[in-house]
Structure 1
């Protein structure tokens, strides 16, 4: 399954919507995404399952790039 992860670059700063970034990951479930990202120094705001028409829409975005390696 494909997931879109909304995050901030720093765990220590208060989240600001204008600084929110996103990445795309493939995993079996949301828990697996969190496990893959647990060593990253990012503040995860939201993890969204992408499927159907919404997934196809996201794939058309110039920002769509599947994360290959998320190790620190």
Structure 2
């Protein structure tokens, strides 16, 4: 069964529920830089993406992408 057939049950809302093929391809091919980005455990949403702002030995300040 094709993806379009599966989304047909949502009617007009289907275009808002699913990313286009181009958007999905861009998200899948984007490289993840382990030296600049990481995931931090969060009790509410499991994990939050963060950007490393400075490297100093074993401790590094982070900028969270999800603000509370």
Query: Is the TM value for this pair above 0.5?
Result: no
TM-score, structure 2 as length reference: 0.26
- TM-score normalised by L of structure 1: 0.25
- Structure with bigger RCO (C-alpha 8 Å, 6+ apart): 1
User: Rg larger in 1 or in 2?
Assistant: 2
Q: When you count strand as a share of all residues, which structure comes out higher?
A: 1
Q: Which has the higher helix share?
A: 2
